[in-house]
Amino acid sequence: MTRTFIMGSCVSRDTFEHLPERFRLAGYVARQSLVSVGRPVPDSTLPYAELDSAFQRRMLAGDLAGNAIDQLDAAGTVDLVLWDLTDERLGAHRAGDGWFTRTIEGIGADFYPAGLPHVAYGTDEHFAAWSRALPRWIGALADRDLLGRTVFLQVPWAAITTEDHPTPVSFGLSAEAANAATFRYQRAIMDAAPELTMIRPRDRVRARPGHQWGLAPFHYTEDVYRDLTNQLDALTR
């Protein structure tokens, strides 16, 4: 059995669903930027209890608490950590000495008042805050002997669909812009943790209009997930 902890988005979660049965989900942290990890804000910052989904309530509560490392510890034995950056895409908000992540659920529920200062993904300000937070996460993995068992999914956003149409922008961010913005974040990870494994699809990625979560640049065709899972299966044998 390969107990797997996910720190990331649907990219990692959907990839996990395609893995062989020997992989078991030990824990899952989504909607939590590295900038908020260990930088909690008051639980009352967002009225997340109004959300209908228990998963969404749990993720937003965890983000306000900045509890990704605590959740990693609560997962018990972990053999593999999957990590991706897609949930960083909406940026973050500062609250006093802490941070919280901007999410699609918060946007949909109108949790963010007009004029709330927003640090957008890809900006120098966001990258600086994220870079300061990176050693905390890398250090937590290293302290738990997990750095060599962490795999970063370096999956670009798809610019086109299976029907050769351009993919839609995601909250103002196109595939081209997201991929360009993400480059320096990935480079920072490589520099901070050269022993960490990164994998990426070996062929050009495409978005699938019939994806269960809808059409988006990060909702891929089945062959993308199969390619990633084949690589993960080989790495962990």
- What lies within 8 Å, CB to CB, of 186 at 6+ separation is 85, 152, 154, 198
CA 129 – CA 108 distance, rounded (Å): 25
Helix, coil or strand: residue 58: helix
Mean pLDDT across 158-170: 97
Strand partners, 81: 5, 150
What pLDDT band is residue 55 in, cutting at 50, 70 and 90?
A: very high
Residue 234 has pLDDT above 90, yes or no: yes
- What local confidence, expressed as pLDDT, does residue 200 receive? 97
CB 8, CB 85: distance < 8 Å: yes
Q: Where are the domains of the chain?
A: 2-235
- % of the chain surpassing 90 pLDDT: 97
- What local confidence, expressed as pLDDT, does residue 147 receive? 97
pLDDT digits (tens, 9 = 90+) for 28-44: 999 999 999 999 999 99
Residue 237 has pLDDT above 90, yes or no: no
- What lies within 8 Å, CB to CB, of 94 at 6+ separation is 117, 119
* Rounded CA Rg of the chain: 17
- What lies within 8 Å, CB to CB, of 93 at 6+ separation is 99, 100, 101, 102, 112, 116, 117, 118, 119
- What local confidence, expressed as pLDDT, does residue 12 receive? 98
Place of tokens 């196109």: 174
- What local confidence, expressed as pLDDT, does residue 109 receive? 96
Could you tell me which of 122, 41, 124 has the C-alpha nearest to residue 85?
A: 122
CB atoms within 10 A of CB 188: 15
Amino acid 97 reads D
Residue 114 has pLDDT above 90, yes or no: no
CA 67 – CA 61 distance, rounded (Å): 9
Residue 199 has pLDDT above 90, yes or no: yes
Instruction: Say yes or no: domain 2-235 is CATH 3.40.50.
Output: yes
What pLDDT band is residue 77 in, cutting at 50, 70 and 90?
A: very high
Residue 25 has pLDDT above 90, yes or no: yes
CB 205, CB 176: distance < 8 Å: no
Chain mean pLDDT for the chain = 97
- What local confidence, expressed as pLDDT, does residue 115 receive? 86
Mean pLDDT across 1-16: 97
